[in-house]
Amino acid sequence: MEDINIRQPLHPLDTGEVVLRFTGSVEKSELREGLKAAGTFRRMRWLAAVGALSIALLGVRVDPEGGSVNIGLVAAAVVYAAVFAWLAPRQIVASAVRAQQAHEGADCVVDGAGIAAVLDGTDIKRLSWDAMKRYHETSSLYTVVGGSGLKTWVMVLPKRLMTAPDAELLGAVLDSRLRRR
């Protein structure tokens, strides 16, 4: 039987629960996969399609003598679709990569209070379990989705940064706290 190696935090926590800690950086392909698993790009493509169709329909006029199409509004619809279906997802991934690089060397800590990025014993960002809504699991990562107000965020936790028992433990913790999609 394998022993599960759980590392304790550098500072005491109020919860007294077991802590899972791992360090490493998330690759661009993993960020893209996590955002895709969370449905971010699917919603964005739907928004692009509905918005482009709405703009294009504004340029169509049907009257008893026939119909006409405003080429300017059709062109605007194509630009709108290109921005939201092609450029915006790339910008989101690039922004996530920059945010991850800004906190290079931070530990990811999972405890009774939630999930935190910790650098030199200080929380950079802590997300409580109450703020998390659901999680997605792929063969190579966990993607946690949450939000506050109108703001939605996605946290990507690659399994390659953890040992096999730690990855299973994280899956069990996520199963007990969040709903899986």
- Give the tens place of pLDDT for each residue, 145-177: 998 888 888 889 999 999 999 999 999 999 999
- pLDDT band for position 85 (cuts 50, 70, 90): confident
pTM of the model: 0.74
**Residue 148, SS3 per DSSP:** strand
Exposure pattern of 31-62 as b/e (b: 16+ CB <10 Å)? bbbbbbbbbbbeebbeebeebbeebbeebeee
Rounded CA-CA distance 150/153 in Å is: 10
Query: Which one-letter DSSP state was computed for residue 161?
Result: G
Question: Please, are residues 167 and 159 in contact by the beta-carbon 8 Å criterion?
Answer: yes
Do strands 20-23 and 107-111 pair parallel, antiparallel, or not at all (unpaired)?
antiparallel
